[in-house]
């Protein structure tokens, strides 16, 4: 045992607890680069705190100083807010000893919910993956490692369109099943532009292993508010943007020299709301919003889904 973490509720327990709105929701943040970005993150955190997410998660960056800041801020989320934080943990560029120390550093701050990920090569997410000589090759091994270290609750990533390095969907589904069999209690998906991909992943998972398929499969949703972010997300996630969705955003952007930002944003909010409505109708256990450290767009979607947002969103919050 690395240490004895103070037990925090597990994500699975949180998802079955009473919640506001039609379905539990969660919010993903990323580590801010500087003091100004950190202040913005905290504004978003305080707004979301009032809306009662089931949990919040903090992504894990590739660089050393970002990593230290991530651990510190995730600890502050646990200590200074009512939110339940999940720390993303990636294997990239870490030895097993370093991974153990990192898990221990989170445990010391009372963070017992971890999302176990392999991570991508720093600089170029699509570049060649090189295992640390004393590290782990796959997230599945990280799930097992965390399980050996104490009483943690672990989640993993899943990919509705298949992971970009997987030779085919069946291989990727087996990889997900193996991560769940290794002890992961739920998975959160990569964002997608077509709900059908999510539903097919759910079917594949249940068919491959009904017991693991019964664990929560949480869809990742990003309200995209500009054409650039639509393209960037598609590129980073390897998601295909269906022609009709592309056409919708392109029509909103207009054919002037500058994109009509307000119209694109409105389509982004509509699109995220429609996807979320379909997912709720399909019985998903939670909606996981990639907030990009802004509260406003996600809050608008939540409000349209029926969450009583009331007056909690500061008029000054930017998109």
Q: Which residues contact 126 (CB under 8 A, 6 or more apart)?
A: 120, 164
Sheet (strand 186-189) strand order:
217-218, 186-189, 153-158, 113-117, 85-90, 55-58, 25-29, 287-290, 220-221
Catalytic, 259? Answer no
Q: What are phi and psi of 90, to 5 degrees?
A: -115, 150
Q: At CA 78, angle to CA 313 and CA 13, rounded to 5?
A: 90
The region of 45-53, 72-80, 132-140, 254-262 touching ligand FAD under the rule CB under 6 A is 132-140
Q: Does 59 bind ligand FAD (CB under 6 A)?
A: yes
Q: Does 44 bind ligand FAD (CB under 6 A)?
A: no
For 230-239, the CB contacts below 8 A with 24+ separation are 230/268, 233/191, 234/193, 236/125, 237/161, 237/190, 237/191, 237/192, 238/161, 238/163, 238/164, 238/190, 239/161, 239/190, 239/191, 239/192, 239/193, 239/197
The region of 41-49, 117-125, 201-209, 307-315 touching ligand FAD under the rule CB under 6 A is 117-125
How many residues bind ligand FAD (CB under 6 A)? The answer is 24
Q: Which of residues 33, 171, 181, 232 is near ligand FAD by CB under 6 A? A: 171
Q: Which of residues 190, 212, 273, 291 is near ligand FAD by CB under 6 A? A: 190
The region of 41-49, 76-84, 174-182, 297-305 touching ligand FAD under the rule CB under 6 A is 174-182
Q: Which of residues 177, 188, 272, 313 is near ligand FAD by CB under 6 A? A: 188
The region of 40-48, 105-113, 136-144, 274-282 touching ligand FAD under the rule CB under 6 A is 136-144
* R_g of the chain, CA atoms, integer Å: 19
Q: Does 175 bind ligand FAD (CB under 6 A)?
A: yes
Q: Which of residues 14, 94, 118, 202 is near ligand FAD by CB under 6 A? A: 118
Q: Does 88 bind ligand FAD (CB under 6 A)?
A: yes
User: Tokens for 156?
Assistant: 């993993």
Q: Which residues are the active-site residues?
A: 28
Residues binding ligand FAD (CB under 6 A): 59-60, 88, 90, 117-120, 138-140, 157, 163, 165-166, 171-172, 175, 178-179, 188-190, 220
């Amino acid at each position: 045992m690395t240490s004895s973490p103070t037990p925090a509720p597990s994500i699975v327990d949180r998802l079955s607890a009473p919640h506001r709105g039609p379905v539990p929701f969660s919010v993903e943040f990323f580590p801010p680069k500087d003091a100004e970005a950190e202040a913005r993150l905290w504004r978003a955190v305080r707004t979301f705190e009032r809306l009662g997410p089931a949990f919040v998660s903090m992504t894990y960056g590739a660089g050393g100083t970002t990593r230290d800041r991530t651990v510190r801020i995730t600890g502050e989320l646990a200590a200074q807010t009512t939110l339940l934080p999940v720390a993303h943990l990636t294997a990239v560029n870490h030895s097993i000893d370093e991974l153990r120390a990192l898990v221990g550093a989170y445990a010391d701050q009372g963070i017992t919910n971890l999302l176990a990920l392999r991570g991508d090569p720093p600089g170029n997410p699509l570049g060649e993956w090189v295992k640390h000589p004393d590290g782990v090759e796959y997230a599945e091994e990280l799930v097992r490692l965390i399980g050996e270290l104490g009483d943690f609750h672990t989640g993993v990533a899943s990919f509705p369109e298949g992971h970009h390095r997987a030779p085919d969907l069946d291989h990727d589904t087996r990889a997900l099943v193996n991560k769940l069999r290794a002890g992961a209690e739920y998975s959160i998906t990569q964002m997608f532009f077509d709900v059908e991909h999510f539903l097919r992943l759910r079917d594949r998972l249940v068919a491959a292993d009904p017991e693991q398929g019964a664990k929560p499969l949480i869809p990742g949703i990003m309200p995209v508010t500009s054409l650039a972010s639509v393209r960037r997300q598609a590129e980073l996630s390897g998601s295909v943007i269906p022609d009709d969705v592309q056409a919708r955003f392109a029509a909103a952007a207009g054919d002037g020299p500058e994109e009509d930002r307000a119209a694109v944003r409105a389509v982004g909010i509509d699109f995220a709301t429609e996807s979320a409505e379909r997912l709720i109708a399909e019985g998903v256990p939670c909606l996981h919003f990639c907030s990009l450290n802004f509260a406003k767009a996600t809050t608008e979607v939540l409000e349209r889904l029926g969450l009583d947002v009331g007056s909690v969103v500061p008029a000054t919050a930017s998109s």
